[in-house]
Amino acid sequence: MGEEVNLLRNYPVSKRDVNSRANEKTEEDRRIARKFEFDFFDGDRRHGYGGYSYNEKFWAPVIPDFIKYYKLKENSSILDVGSGKGFMLYEFSKFLPNAKLRGIDISKYAYENSLPDIRQYLDIGSAHELPYEDNTFDLVVSIVTLHNLNREECGKALSEMCRVSKRNAFITLDSYSNEKEKKMMEAWNLTAKTMMHVNEWVKFFDDVGYDGDYYWFKPI
């Protein structure tokens, strides 16, 4: 199994009003958000991001850590599972101009509104049925995405990430370490269908054969 490593430590963190989200969200908000269309990315905040646009300050400080940790080279191949509008891949392209990039996301809206410079590298598809050959990528990443699948699909997606990776994989997932964090996660969560204690996730990784690295998202 891989290691727990915080490769997003330099990603700017916004202040989150967890209590307001808990008091205001409804099952209808969840239903709309889980379509992952306009409302989720660029609609009202209660349905998702409340406007998802490119800003260099988010991914530019993070990518060097990935490059260093995984010893990526100019011609490395990288897959982003749950690539959204392609912001992370775009930053990879700036640091590694000759890298072989690919991104996949379930959202047609995200693809159609992705960064023009990166759109040619994006596909529309499911994380649990990746349309790539075995051992294709030097690094496969998935940032706060796979927990949006149900447990069975999540397990398949983790296995798929390992299948298409030559060796390295990294994920971040919604999780908690105690009851206080669990209550905060339940209050904040809008789209996740699979949330577990960090120890449960680690056991799940072993059960489905995921041997990549990992870290957690907690709204605190």
Indicate the pTM of the whole model: 0.94
149 within a domain of the structure (yes/no)? yes
5 within a domain of the structure (yes/no)? no
99 within a domain of the structure (yes/no)? yes
One-letter identity of residue 49 = Y
pLDDT at 20: 62
55 within a domain of the structure (yes/no)? yes
11 within a domain of the structure (yes/no)? no
* C-alpha separations of 45 from 30, 77, 87, 102 in Å: 12, 34, 20, 29
Q: For residue 100, what are the β-bridge partners?
A: 77
- Other beta carbons less than 10 A from residue 76's beta carbon: 20
Contact (Cβ atoms closer than 8 angstroms) between residue 139 and residue 71 = no
Q: Which regions of the chain are under pLDDT 50?
A: none
3 within a domain of the structure (yes/no)? no
25 within a domain of the structure (yes/no)? yes
Model pLDDT for residues 42-95, shown as the tens digit of each residue: 999 999 999 999 999 999 999 999 999 999 999 999 999 999 999 999 999 999
Counting beta carbons within 10 angstroms of the beta carbon of residue 82, is it exposed (0 to 12), middle (13 to 18) or buried (19 or more)?
buried
152 within a domain of the structure (yes/no)? yes
**CATH, residue 147:** 3.40.50.150
Rounded Cα distance, 149 and 191, in Å: 9
pLDDT at 28: 94
Element (H, E) at 204: helix 198-208
Tokens of residue 172, six digits = 């971040």
Domain total in the chain: 1
Domain enclosing residue 54, as ranges: 18-217
pLDDT at 21: 58
Rounded Cα distance, 203 and 81, in Å: 22
